[in-house]
Amino acid sequence: MSDEARSSVVPSSGAASSGAASSDAPSPDAPSAGASGAAAAPPVLRAEGLVKTYRGEGAPAHAVRGVDLVVRPGEFVAITGPSGAGKSTLLHLLGGLQRPDSGRIWLDGARVDGHSEARWAVLRRRRIGVVFQFFNLVSNLTVADNIELPALLAGSNARQARAERHRLLTELGLEGKERSMPGELSGGEQQRVALARALVNHPGLLLADEPTGSLDSKGTREVMRLLSDFHQRGQAILLVTHDHRLASAADRVISFFDGRVADDAVLGAKTGGGRGVAGVLELKD
C-alpha cells in the first residue's frame, strides 16, 4: 500500500538502518560511522517499519506510516514537523507508551516491541527516560520523593537514591527545593525536576516530547541548556519539537511530515557540529 510505504530514516551521513531484521536477535548490520563520531557502536534504539493508525468514529488517522530509525549511543536527534505530523505518536511508540500496528523496535540490540506493559514499564524505569510537555510529576510527592521513587523502584537502596537525587538537583540548580511540592515550583523548575527523575537511573536514551512546550523563553533556555549539557556528557536524546530553533541544538534533525520522514539531516556533516544551544539562547520573551 503506497500510504504505508516505509520512509527511511537513514542519516544522510550514510549510516545504514536498512535491511530487514528477521529475528529477535540483535541486528547484525552495525551502522557505519555517523557525523557524531559514534563509530561502530550498536544503536541504543532501532526501529523498522513502524506504522500506527488511529481508528475511531471518523476517518482513520494515519499518524505513522512506516518509519525506520536508528539512534546511536550519545547521539542527539531532534524530530521536528508541523502539528499533526505524527511526532508524538512516533515517540510514544518508541517508548512503549503506545503499540504500533506493525513494525519492530530494538533497545541496545534486544527486540522489545513484543514486550508486555509491565516489561515496558521496567524499560522506562531503567533504560529509557521520558519527559513530557506537562512534566507529569506526582503532585502530592515532594521534589525529593519524585526523583528518588524511580531509583528505589529500580533497586537502589535509600542511601544511593538520596545521593543520586542530591547530585542531580545540584547539577540542575535546584538545591534547596528538595522539600517543595511540584505545585510550588515554576514551570522551568518543574521540568528540571522531571529531567532529574528521567535521568536518575542513568538511562541510555532520553525521550523528550515538547519538553519546553509549556515554558516561557527563560524556562526554554534553561531546559535546552541542560539537555545540551547532558548530551555533551554522552547522553543520547530523542527530542520532539515543532520549533526549528530548538531542533538546531541537536546533531541530527529529522523533519517529519504526514507520518513520514521528509528529511534527515546530520548537522555536523554540514557545519562541523550542531549549533548547540546557540540558537536557543537567542530566544526572547
Ligand X SMILES: Nc1ncnc2c1ncn2[C@@H]1O[C@H](COP(=O)(O)OP(=O)(O)OP(=O)(O)O)[C@@H](O)[C@H]1O
Binding of ligand X by 84 (CB under 6 A): yes
From CA 90, how far away is CA 263, in angstroms rounded? 15
For ligand X, give the closer residue by CB, 15 or 79: 79
Cβ atoms of 255 and 87 within 8 Å: the answer is no
Q: What is the dihedral of CA 144, 276, 30, 69, to 10 degrees?
A: 80
Of 114-133, binders to ligand X (CB under 6 A) are none
80 binds ligand X (CB under 6 A): no
What does the buried/exposed string (b/e) look like for 14-25 if buried means 16 or more CB atoms within 10 Å of the residue's CB?
A: ebebeeebeeee
Task: Supply the minimum distance, in Å, between the C-beta of residue 254 and ligand X.
Answer: 12
- For 51, the grid coordinates are 506504522
Task: Sheet with 102-107: list strands edge to edge.
Answer: 61-71, 45-54, 102-107, 110-111
Region 159-218 residues binding ligand X, contact defined as CB under 6 A: none
Q: Could you say which of 41, 61, 153, 269 contacts ligand X (CB under 6 A)?
A: 61
- Choosing from 111, 115, 126, 242, the residue that interacts with ligand X (CB under 6 A) is 242
Q: At what angle do helices 143-153 and 158-171 cross, to 10 degrees?
A: 130
Least distance in angstroms from the C-beta of 252 to ligand X = 18
Smallest distance from the beta carbon of 94 to ligand X, in angstroms? 12
Q: Which of 28, 56, 176, 183 binds ligand X (CB under 6 A)?
A: 56
Q: Which stretch binds ligand X (CB under 6 A): 5-13, 85-93, 120-128, 266-274?
A: 85-93
Residue the block writes with cell 517529519? 256
Least Å from the CB of residue 89 to ligand X:
3
What residues line the site for ligand X (CB under 6 A)?
54, 56, 61, 63, 81, 83-89, 242
